[in-house]
Amino acid sequence: MTKKKVFSGIQPSGDIHLGNYMGALRNWVAMQDEYQTVYCVVDLHALTLPQAPSDLAEARLRTAKILLAAGIDPQRSLLYHQSQVPQHAELSWILGTFTSMGRLGRMTQYKEKEDKGGQNLGLFSYPVLMAADILVHKVHAVPVGDDQTQHLEFTRDLVERFNSRYGDFFPAPEQITPGRGARVMSLKDPSSKMSKSDPDDDSRILVTDAPDAIRRKIRRAVTDSGARIAYDVERKPGISNLLDILAVFAGDAVDDLADRYSGAGYGRFKETVAEAVIEGLAPLRRAFLDLEDREVERIMKMGALDARIQAERTMVEVRKMIGLSG
């Protein structure tokens, strides 16, 4: 039986934090057993914000290295840099001709960044390139959180438009929703998601952080009034966030952990969370430090070669269907 194909991409920030790991990366690793997996460092998307060339080059490499260290296996997954597969951009242009300006202007991500003065054509058409990333491999499913549901619906709409005009060709990708741990909150403001754009470094744990840094950040994490450990997102968001983190690394249910540590006190509980995170990330950190840059670059170039071959099969058919062949 042929496995279903899954695609997911990550921007090359260079630093992957605990929210990225718990909400996406650890699930990417697990999905290699069940699906044909295609994973991409979406460096073209990163250009919607100004980038110093040297910083972007370093971030691309570092992001790829973290993916490999986390357990993405190039023997089981297709892993590559988006910019090295030009079929992404070609299909994006074609799909853009099916997309109305009004629909793009209503996309939440564009409206949020537009309000911050980040207007440019790349940001406006970002969802079209995201759809092309998915469709160029004709994947069956995409793992996304709630904040990306709108983009997946946009992709499914483009599939319907293309297939309606040219015949049934692209599959409409399904949504795979991660379980608990998919939404990790800031350690300094548990009402906001953990983010790499937060100016406070103590708001997030990076997967490559040293043990002492992890202990310090969790020790300083904002908690709540009172001393009882309980899972209550509304009244105790800080402790609830730490319980969510501990549940992933300890492999236990949140309610069981809340009962076990209910009278432990915040200090002891934070120590428990910190040690669980340190132990859980130790294999990734060791693998990251052992990987050589030259080997990572070789793996990504080989992945791009395979991805171009796969994507070109799609584009040969697309060009033929729309009248661009011959």
CATH of the domain at 223: 1.10.240.10
Give yes or no: residues 227 and 282 share one domain. Answer: yes
Neighbours of 219 (CB within 10 A): 15
Q: Would residue 244 count as lying in a domain?
A: yes
Residue 190 lies in a domain: no
Which residues belong to the active site?
113, 193, 196
Sign for the pseudo-dihedral over CA of 91, 96, 98, 99:
positive
Q: Is 232 helix (H, G, I), strand (E, B) or coil?
A: strand
Same domain for 140 and 279? no
List, for residues 196-222, the tens digit of each pLDDT value. Answer: 888 899 999 999 999 999 999 999 999
Shared domain check, 269 and 296 = no
Strands, E assignment, the chain: 5-10, 36-41, 77-81, 141-143, 174-176
Say if residue 275 is in the same domain as residue 301.
no
Please check whether residues 145 and 14 belong to one and the same domain: yes
Same domain assignment for residues 85 and 171? yes
Give residue 1's pLDDT: 64
Quick one: pLDDT band at residue 326, thresholds 50, 70, 90? low
**59 lies in the same domain as 168:** yes
Do 217 and 166 lie in one domain? The reply is no
pLDDT at 116 over 60: no
Question: Residue 303: inside a domain, yes or no?
Answer: yes
If asked whether residues 77 and 112 sit together in one domain, one would say yes
Judge whether 146 lies within some domain: yes
Assigned domain for 280 exists: yes
Note the pLDDT of residue 151.
86
Confidence label for 111 from pLDDT (cuts 50, 70 and 90): low
pLDDT value at 37 more than 60: yes
Cα 231 to Cα 35: distance, rounded to the nearest angstrom: 34
Per-residue pLDDT band for 115 (boundaries 50, 70, 90) equals low
Identify whether residues 216 and 127 lie together within a single domain: no
The number of folded domains in the chain is: 2
User: Is the predicted pLDDT of residue 112 greater than 70, yes or no?
Assistant: no
Span of 100-114, 135-149, 166-180, 218-232 with lowest mean pLDDT = 100-114
Residue ranges making up the domain that contains 49 = 5-181+292-322
What integer pLDDT is reported at residue 197 of this predicted model?
Answer: 82
My answer on whether 159 and 239 are in the same domain is no
Q: What's 87's DSSP letter? A: H
Encoded tokens for 71: 């357990």
Residue percentage of the chain with pLDDT more than 90: 76
pLDDT of residue 225: 79
pTM of the model as a whole:
0.92
For residue 277, the model assigns a pLDDT of 98
Task: Indicate whether 152 belongs to any domain.
Answer: yes
For 144, residues 6+ apart whose C-beta sits below 8 A from its C-beta are 8, 151, 152, 175, 176, 177
9 and 90 share one domain? yes
Q: pLDDT digit string (tens) for 269-324? A: 999 999 999 999 999 999 999 999 999 999 999 999 999 999 999 999 999 999 99
Starting from the edge strand earliest in sequence, which strands make up the sheet with 36-41, in order?
77-81, 36-41, 5-10, 141-143, 174-176
Instruction: Answer whether 208's CB lies under 8 Å from 13's CB.
Output: no
